[in-house]
């Protein structure tokens, strides 16, 4: 009986040890098999022409859409400029200016007043890739050149279904359109443009300024004032008059480029008053430029190899001038005019002499 009792105790102890080993083994196996979690962060997709986050996480499958908008006094206030990626202000006959308003990442329900095409438009839009051009008419040699350049001609005079005529507007300042109406005319054009600027958040070295004066003419006497609260340059006429859109939004830009260009006149008569077509060589050449961003002025030069290549802006030391994410407004200022800036620490206006 004594041997039997001792044997029973040994068997019980051995069973207990084995059970403990199984429990420990199970715990160890459970820890080893625990899955690891990996977090992948995807960088937001950027709009190619503005460098800001693309709407709904993706760039729209459509080309850049340049539209000609009038800037004569009677044409103001315009509609749609506050939904652009880029605006080019170009000189035309009579000392007035017009806009090539470029849309791509945003939609605008009202754009206008839309006016006629000019030969200078070809050099402007060529750097945007294969594009349609929204406008209303143009003289025969200009339209022929536009078509020869491979630009899809969206003349609202021939596409009345894409035009509207708001109440209270009178000819020739009464033709309007929208991004939806114009893109509907080119459903097979689905390739977004490539970036034409390099965007960075860090501010390049420059001179702090509070404003810049860009004197096209008495019709378009432009001042850009830096607004630290919005982080943009606000646009004014004659120094104090806000340049507002029809919806009340003041025109503003993250970047203002003053690109000095050489202009000539002719050979074609553009209007009944005898005004000659304004021509400007925008590629195969170079010239002075200044870039305004983040409250600073960066002076340098511009150059462009061909009609299809982008305009390159560099400092005097040869470094590429980068843009801030947001809208860019390009002032194609004739070399007969000189821009001026007001430095931030002083109250006096200084003349910016750009090397010609």
The string of pLDDT tens digits covering residues 159-198 is 999 999 999 999 999 999 999 999 999 999 999 999 999 9
Taking the C-alpha atoms of residue 288 and residue 268, their distance in angstroms, rounded to an integer, is 28
- 18, part of any domain: no
Rounded to 5 degrees, φ, ψ at 188 are -90, -5
Q: With b meaning 16 or more CB within 10 Å and e meaning fewer, what string describes 57-72?
A: eebbebbbbbbbbbbb
83: domain range? 55-351
The pLDDT confidence band at residue 16, using thresholds 50, 70 and 90, is: very low
Residue 143 in domain? yes
Rg (CA), the chain: 31
Average pLDDT for 122-136: 98
Judged against a pLDDT cut of 50, whether residue 25 lies above it is answered with: no
Q: What is the pLDDT of residues 246-289, one digit of tens each?
A: 999 999 999 999 999 999 999 999 988 899 999 999 999 999 99
Q: What are the tens digits of pLDDT across the range 274-331?
A: 999 999 999 999 999 999 999 999 999 999 999 999 999 999 999 999 999 999 999 9
> Domain count of the chain?
1
Within-domain flag for 113: yes
- Is the confidence at residue 31, as pLDDT, over 80? no
CATH (domain of 342):
3.50.90.10
- C-beta separation of 44 from 59 below 8 A: no
Kindly report the pTM of this predicted structure: 0.87
Q: Is 100 left (phi over 0), alpha (psi -120 to 50) or beta?
A: beta
Do residues 234 and 242 make contact, with C-beta atoms less than 8 angstroms apart? yes
Does 270 fall in a domain? yes
The answer to whether residue 8 is domain-embedded is no
Average pLDDT, the chain: 89
Residue 356 confidence (pLDDT) above 70: no
Strand-strand pairing, 232-237 and 221-227: antiparallel
Sign of torsion over alpha carbons 199, 202, 204, 209:
positive
Residue 34 within a domain: no
290 belongs to a structural domain: yes
Is 324 within the bounds of a domain?
yes
């Amino acid at each position: 009986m004594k041997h039997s009792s001792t044997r029973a105790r040994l068997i019980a102890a051995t069973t207990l040890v084995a059970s403990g080993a199984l429990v420990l083994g199970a715990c160890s196996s459970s820890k080893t098999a625990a899955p690891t979690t990996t977090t992948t962060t995807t960088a937001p997709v950027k709009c190619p022409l503005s460098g800001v986050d693309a709407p709904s996480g993706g760039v729209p499958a459509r080309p850049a859409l340049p539209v000609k908008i009038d800037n004569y006094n009677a044409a103001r206030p315009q509609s749609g400029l506050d939904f652009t990626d880029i605006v080019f202000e170009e000189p035309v006959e009579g000392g007035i200016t017009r806009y090539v308003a470029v849309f791509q990442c945003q939609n605008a329900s009202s754009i206008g007043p839309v006016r006629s095409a000019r030969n200078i438009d070809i050099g402007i839009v060529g750097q945007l890739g294969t594009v349609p051009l929204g406008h209303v008419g143009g003289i025969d040699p200009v339209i022929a050149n536009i078509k020869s350049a491979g630009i899809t001609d969206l003349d609202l005079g021939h596409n009345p279904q894409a035009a509207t005529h708001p109440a209270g507007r009178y000819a020739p300042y009464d033709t309007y359109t929208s991004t939806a109406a114009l893109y509907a005319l080119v459903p097979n054009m689905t390739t977004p443009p490539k970036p034409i600027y390099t965007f960075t958040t860090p501010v390049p070295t420059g001179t702090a300024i509070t404003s810049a004066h860009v004197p096209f003419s008495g019709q378009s006497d432009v001042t850009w004032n830096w607004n630290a609260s919005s982080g943009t340059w606000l646009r004014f006429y004659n120094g104090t008059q806000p340049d507002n859109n029809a919806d009340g939004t003041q025109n503003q830009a993250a970047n203002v480029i003053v690109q000095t260009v050489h202009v000539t006149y002719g050979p074609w008569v553009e209007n009944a008053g005898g005004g000659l077509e304004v021509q400007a060589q925008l590629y195969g050449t170079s010239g002075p430029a200044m870039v305004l961003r983040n409250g600073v002025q960066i002076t340098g030069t511009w150059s462009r190899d061909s009609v299809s290549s982008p305009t390159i802006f560099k400092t005097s030391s040869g470094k590429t001038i980068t843009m801030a994410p947001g809208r860019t407004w390009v002032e194609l200022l004739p070399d007969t005019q000189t821009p001026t800036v007001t430095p931030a620490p002083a109250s006096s206006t200084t003349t910016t002499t750009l090397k010609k």
